[in-house]
Amino acid sequence: MSRSVILLGSTGSIGTQALDVIARNPSRFTVRGLAAGGGRVDTLARQAADFRVETVAVADPAAVPALKDALTACGSAAEVLAGAEGVAELAARPCDVVLNGVTGALGLTSTLAALSAGRVLALANKESLIIGGPLVKRLAGPGQLLPVDSEHSALAQCLWAAGPDGPRAHAVHRLVVTASGGPFRGLRRSELSGVTPEMALAHPTWSMGPVITVNSATLVNKGLEIIEAHLLFDLGFDRIEVVVHPQSVVHSMVEFVDGSVIAQASPPDMCLPIALALGWPERVPGAARAVDWTRAHTWTFEPLDDEAFPAVALARHVGSCGGTAPAVYNAANEVCVDAFLAGRLPFLGIVDTVAKVVEEHEVCPAESVDEVLAADQWARARAEEITAG
Ligand SMILES: NC(=O)c1ccc[n+]([C@@H]2O[C@H](COP(=O)([O-])OP(=O)(O)OC[C@H]3O[C@@H](n4cnc5c(N)ncnc54)[C@H](OP(=O)(O)O)[C@@H]3O)[C@@H](O)[C@H]2O)c1
């Protein structure tokens, strides 16, 4: 039976790849609603017309007139919702699965709205889980939260492969999260001082939006991912390892207490984890290309250089502190990435500034949205101050 999808962030990297999966599988999926920020209304309107969606939401209310014109020009009569409330309203509408592909902390309201309404949530927007940790976990019932990040999809698949009911918790020794190492793998800290935005945006294996691409270069993305793994799979940080794997074919592994390791491997292509989350627990045939076993391959693994890339150790620290600490790490980083892309902050200044903001923060429990947003706002303001010089 066809599954109905509401797609948030439809014009972005995850969103367009999700629509590609859906377009290739018209009997499996239908699109009920689309949401985006408002920066690309022509693309959004074209998507609405192509997928015959009922409702379109746009976060920037100022983009509504242009969106309505573009929808009319494309022959779509979709209902239009406006503002952050409009996006959250769409996230709560009836459907089989909501895919949150929004970038950054502002994805939190939609994650909470979808979960509160009882929707199954395919989560690419890892930031909302990381900053809203206890809140999101309290709302998410069994099977309601499905990972889209390739590493967490891999971990879920490895745990799933361990037995029909999943492995018993005591059988798992640790999770091994792989990292491509980004464009600066192998460089020492002293060699990273002259890195430009153009260099940081040239990821060797993945094509993604600008924020996650810079986060992959600093390894902040891997830091966010170990917090995500901790929250999704309930293992302590001492049982979550990061290993550098430049080919990005093994997307992560689970090591069991008897020394056995189960790994998930496929060429780097987000269509696979997106399709699996949309169709879960069914696999979508042909979602992505498999490894070509007729060719020779070399897969290498190496330890992470924590001195050149301190973002992962810092994430372990904020993740262990819990409460509002991860929200502060994420918010300060978002400000620093903007400043770096605008040429106002050197590459090494990103994680150095995040560390300073984290150090100054007094951690609160993060029991309410207001508490999380207050910590987020404080961290943004403090990071702005520091980066302004
Ligand atoms: N890209 C990947 O391969 C990848 C892999 C793993 C995880 N992720 C995660 O997936 C998320 C999305 O990443 P991305 O690379 O796809 O980002 P992206 O290319 O920058 O796309 C972001 C999307 O969010 C929309 N948006 C911005 N503000 C919004 C708001 N307030 N409400 C609703 N939509 C809004 C944008 O719309 P406009 O076009 O109007 O600006 C765009 O559609 C991130 O959390 C990232 O860490 C991405």
Tokens describing residue 144 = 């309601």
Sheet containing strand 302-303, strands side by side? 261-265, 250-256, 172-179, 240-244, 302-303
Ligand 1 close to Cβ of residue 126 (< 6 A): yes
216 in contact with ligand 1, CB cutoff 6 A: no
Q: How far is the CA of 256 from the centre of ligand 1 (A)?
A: 34
CA distance 243 to 342: 31
Average pLDDT over residues 17-31: 98
> Is the CB of 140 within 6 Å of ligand 1?
no
The ligand 1 atom nearest the CA atom of 215 = 47
CA geometry: angle at 272 spanning 266 and 277, to 5°? 135
Q: What is the pLDDT of residues 358-375, one digit of tens each?
A: 999 999 999 999 999 999
Give the model's pLDDT for residue 183.
Answer: 95
Q: For position 76, what pLDDT does the model report?
A: 97
Q: Where do we find the tokens 């009319």?
A: 72
Extended strands (E) in the chain: 3-8, 29-36, 55-58, 79-82, 97-100, 121-123, 145-147, 172-179, 240-244, 250-256, 261-265, 302-303
Which two structure tokens, joined as six digits, stand for 122?
């395919």
Q: Quote the pLDDT of residue 288.
A: 97
Tokens of 362: 């007094």
Question: Cα of 235 to ligand 1 centre, how many Å?
Answer: 27
Q: Flag whether pLDDT at 165 surpasses 90.
A: no
Which residues have CB under 8 Å from 89's CB, separation 6+? 57, 81, 113
Distance (Å, rounded) from C-alpha 331 to C-alpha 357?
A: 10
Distance from Cα 190 to the centre of ligand 1, integer Å: 32
Per residue in 86-98, pLDDT tens?
999 999 999 999 9
3-state class (DSSP) for residue 357: helix
Sheet with 55-58, side-by-side order of all strands: 79-82, 55-58, 29-36, 3-8, 97-100, 121-123, 145-147
At what angle are helices 347-360 and 311-321 packed, to 10 degrees? 20
Which residue's CA is the nearest one to ligand 1's atom 6? 149
User: Is the confidence at residue 389, as pLDDT, over 80?
Assistant: no
**Beta-strand pair 97-100/3-8:** parallel
Residue 124 Cβ contacting ligand 1 at under 6 Å: yes
Q: Is 323 in the pocket of ligand 1 (CB under 6 A)?
A: no
Using CA atoms, how far residue 347 sits from 121, 201, 218, 342, 350, in Å, is 34, 12, 8, 11, 6
**% of the chain exceeding 70 in pLDDT:** 99
How many other β-carbons are positioned within 10 Å of the β-carbon of residue 190? Answer: 8
The whole-number pLDDT of residue 206 equals 86
Give 256-314 pLDDT, tens digit per residue. 999 999 999 999 999 999 999 999 999 999 999 999 999 999 999 999 999 999 999 99
Q: What is the pLDDT of residues 32-54, one digit of tens each?
A: 999 999 999 999 999 999 999 99
The chain-wide mean pLDDT, for the chain, equals: 96
Is there a contact between 158 and 176 (Cβ–Cβ < 8 Å)?
Answer: no
